[in-house]
């Protein structure tokens, strides 16, 4: 066969295989047997082996995997992948709908309504297409950036390597010559999950399909990912070529382009239609071949979505309605008390193992002593447990009538289970604490585990067991000690050979390049999550500036209240923290923000701006970005340091306070004028 003949045959085979894939995985209407499909695919693979220069990234043969990925590079998302606000209450859902409609009172939503979709219990991913071809696939990560797992995502049949081309369709033509983003949920069906677990030893089995999906997507061998049969449902399409098309129309576009968009999406014009949809799927969810944990309600009009904008964490135009958790009965055999990384003492119930929502539950949280007293739960009781959001098991009630005569009350410990220090209970708090922060083994281990975690310093090969071993061998005591480790320290230890020792040393060394905001988060300051750490890194561009910030300065930072401000201030004077920070600085970690010089006019340089009231033409986050890109700082409250207030409609107490303090006040139109003139 000549090369020209092979090329023609390869193109024909690819077209035929892609069409059969679409019919099987998206339409669920296969027209040939699996055996006949395999014959076509094998013929394509053999031809491409004979003519390797004819292989292209979008060939169906590239789905079978084969790439070994040692690392998953971090990539920035085009726009933040935000998490949704959750509710289990129909009243809270009704309040959400009322807020949306009040926020759009001048626009009205009757013409477009809402879109109801199932909430698949999987892992969110982002796909980037250029000129019709998949070029990047990434995990959600922390929302701003995720891991590049393109090779693994290519193995999923419901993710087109090249979008379908529809004749005489202007949109198809535009998207085949443009860049656009698709977001979706990757999950594993119940059958595929059971099959995967049946092939594994009992102590290596996954707890649930979501857990299995997360583990699969981070496999280094994409052949193993292909073997585990993942699925993706697409729920979001964004690009410059889409105009003002509605969300429901975009879902239709995704289906035309070859994506699986689910079978239960519904356009709802009334509240009654939304609640009927929820009732139907809460009743029928067990009939589905995959796990769902609720439904998502989204405003259909994309322009209206932009008008409503988002909070720092969630969009204001969408909400996740979680179905009632599944419950079952079991017996509480014992209670143990665990010590967290900040000294919190948490009671954990040891239960008679029982199946619940597809997994075996043998432990559950009891939260704190107040919860134990509220439930009046005792050792030996028959209890009801549920999985909150079908994920976290907890005890919710006690069958007092089934209580055995020898049921024993649960006694609160007086000393720390880890170090023996007398416990304390701070005023107005429900938890007991171990005050021995510097020397308590459980807290030392907890801080190290947190420091090495994926969304902190992401130190591969440094799990809990290794950390415990290194502590026992007195090789490490705090995160700073990790950077003093040498390969020769590790090779004499159990679990370590030359290669595994070098892998850990390399991973620790690579962590020095983690960004300043990740370093702040990794320190484990109480109440400082990743989002707060990112805010702090913007407002205080060096650790020195953060350490020297007053409680007042910290409190005036958006999303940081007095409690967090005190926690930050107290952390930097603790002797163990001072010692750790010296070691980390000597090791060369990023203690400064990577500030990129702005190319836009610094209109708001040195201005401290507060927005109040509702803005008509842009969301609050977008307004904040406009100010910060032009040298200003946006805070959430008016103070003597505020230099400018932008007042939208229905501005309230912040406007009144600004007027009393004599602060400059402008309206939204003037604000846009400043941006435009800049």
Query: What domains can you pick out in the chain, each with its CATH number?
Result: 3-64 (1.10.287.610), 86-322 (3.30.470.30), 326-434 (2.40.50.140), 441-513 (1.10.150.20), 516-587 (1.10.150.20), 608-677 (3.40.50.10190)
Enumerate residues 6+ apart whose C-beta is below 8 A from 413: 337, 345, 423, 432
- 119 burial (CB, 10 Å; 0-12 / 13-18 / 19+) is buried
614: DSSP letter = B
CA distances, 362 to each of 137, 332, 350, 354, 379 (Å): 36, 9, 6, 7, 14
The answer to whether the beta carbons of residues 253 and 224 sit under 8 Å apart is no
Those residues whose C-beta lies under 8 Å from the C-beta of residue 499, and which sit 6 or more positions away, are none
Annotated catalytic sites, by residue? 119
Count CB atoms within 10 A of the CB of residue 2.
Answer: 8
Q: What is the mean pLDDT of each run of 10 residues along the chain (678 residues)?
A: 87 86 71 77 86 83 63 87 89 93 75 90 94 93 88 93 80 83 94 79 68 86 86 93 88 92 91 95 86 92 90 89 86 95 93 83 90 94 78 85 95 96 89 94 96 89 93 96 96 92 95 93 89 86 93 84 91 96 96 68 86 73 77 84 86 84 89 76
675: left (phi over 0), alpha (psi -120 to 50) or beta: alpha
pTM above 0.75, yes or no: no
Query: CA–CA separation, 267 vs 274, rounded Å?
Result: 9
How many other CB atoms are found less than 10 A from the CB of residue 350? 14
Phi-psi region of 34 (alpha: psi -120 to 50; beta: other; left: phi over 0): alpha
Q: What is the torsional sign of CA 551, 555, 557, 560?
A: positive
CB neighbour burial string for 380-416, b if at least 16 within 10 angstroms, e if fewer:
bbbbebbbebbeebbbeebeeeeeeeebeebeeeeeb
- What pLDDT is stored for residue 617 in this prediction? 63
Q: Which contiguous run of DSSP H or E holds residue 393?
A: strand 392-398
Provide the pLDDT for residue 454: 79
What is the predicted pLDDT for the residue at 601?
75
Q: What is the pLDDT of residue 390?
A: 46
Instruction: State the pLDDT at residue 66.
Output: 54
Residue with tokens 């070529």: 241
- Rounded CA-CA distance 522/472 in Å is 22
The SS3 of residue 378 is coil
CA distances from 314 to 46, 550, 671 (A): 49, 29, 25
As given in the structure block, the two tokens for residue 268 are 């709802």
Name beta bridge partners: 315: 310
């Amino acid at each position: 066969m000549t090369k020209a003949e092979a090329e023609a045959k390869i193109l024909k085979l690819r077209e035929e295989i892609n069409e059969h894939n679409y019919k099987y995985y998206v339409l669920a209407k296969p027209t040939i047997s699996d055996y006949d499909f395999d014959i076509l695919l094998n013929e394509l693979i053999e031809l491409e082996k004979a003519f390797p220069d004819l292989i292209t990234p979008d060939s169906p043969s590239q789905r079978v995997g084969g790439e070994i990925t040692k690392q998953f590079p971090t990539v920035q998302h085009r726009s933040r992948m935000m998490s949704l606000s959750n509710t289990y209450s129909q009243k809270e859902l009704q309040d959400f709908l009322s807020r949306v409609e009040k926020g759009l009172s001048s626009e009205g939503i009757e013409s477009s309504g809402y879109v109801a979709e199932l909430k698949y219990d999987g892992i969110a991913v982002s796909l980037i297409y250029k000129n019709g071809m998949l070029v990047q696939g990434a995990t959600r990560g922390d929302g701003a950036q995720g891991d590049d797992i393109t090779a693994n995502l290519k193995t999923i049949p419901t993710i087109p390597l090249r979008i379908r081309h529809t004749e005489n369709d202007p949109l198809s033509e535009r998207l085949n010559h443009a860049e656009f983003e698709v977001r979706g949920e990757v999950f594993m069906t119940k059958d595929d999950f059971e099959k995967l677990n049946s092939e594994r030893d009992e102590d290596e089995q996954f707890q649930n399909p979501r857990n299995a999906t997360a583990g699969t997507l981070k496999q280094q061998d994409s052949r193993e990912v292909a073997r585990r049969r993942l699925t993706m449902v697409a729920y979001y399409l964004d690009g410059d070529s889409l105009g003002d098309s509605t969300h429901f129309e975009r879902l239709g576009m995704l289906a035309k382009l070859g994506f699986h968009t689910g079978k239960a999406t519904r356009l709802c014009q009334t509240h009654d239609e939304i609640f009927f949809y929820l009732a139907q799927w809460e009743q029928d969810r067990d009939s589905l071949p995959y796990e769902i944990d609720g439904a998502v309600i989204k405003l259909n009009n994309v322009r209206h979505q932009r008008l409503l904008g988002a909070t720092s964490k969630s969009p204001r135009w969408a909400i996740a309605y979680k179905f009632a958790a599944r419950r079952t009965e079991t017996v509480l055999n014992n209670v143990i008390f665990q010590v967290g990384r900040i000294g919190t003492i948490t009671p954990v119930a040891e239960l008679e193992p029982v199946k619940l929502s597809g997994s075996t539950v043998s432990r559950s949280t009891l939260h704190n002593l107040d919860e134990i007293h509220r439930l009046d739960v005792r050792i030996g009781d028959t209890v009801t447990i549920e999985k909150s959001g079908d994920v976290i098991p907890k005890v919710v009630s006690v069958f007092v009538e089934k209580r055995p005569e020898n049921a024993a009350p649960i006694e609160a410990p007086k000393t720390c289970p880890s170090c023996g220090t007398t416990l304390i209970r701070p005023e107005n708090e429900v938890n007991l604490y171990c005050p021995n922060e510097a020397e308590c083994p459980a807290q030392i281990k907890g801080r190290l585990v947190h420091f090495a975690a994926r969304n902190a310093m992401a130190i591969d090969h440094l799990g809990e067991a290794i950390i415990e071993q290194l502590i026992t061998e007195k090789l490490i005591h705090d995160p700073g000690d990790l950077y003093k480790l040498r390969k020769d320290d590790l090779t004499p230890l159990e679990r370590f050979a030359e290669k595994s020792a070098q892998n850990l040393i390399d991973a620790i060394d690579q962590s020095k390049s983690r960004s300043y905001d990740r370093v702040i988060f990794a320190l484990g300051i109480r109440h400082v999550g990743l989002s707060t750490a990112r805010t702090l890194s913007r407002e205080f561009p060096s650790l020195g500036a953060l350490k020297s910030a007053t409680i007042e300065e910290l409190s005036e930072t958006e999303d940081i209240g007095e409690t967090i401000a005190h926690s930050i201030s107290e952390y930097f004077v603790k002797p163990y923290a001072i010692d750790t920070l010296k070691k980390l600085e000597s090791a060369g970690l990023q203690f400064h923000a990577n500030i990129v010089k702005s190319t836009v006019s610094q209109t708001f340089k040195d201005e401290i701006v507060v927005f109040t009231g509702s803005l008509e033409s842009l969301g609050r986050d977008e307004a904040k970005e406009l100010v910060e890109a032009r040298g200003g700082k946006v805070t959430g409250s008016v103070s003597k340091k505020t230099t400018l207030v932008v007042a939208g409609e229905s501005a309230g107490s912040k406007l009144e306070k600004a007027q009393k303090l004599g602060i400059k006040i402008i309206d939204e139109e003037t604000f846009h004028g400043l941006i435009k003139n800049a």
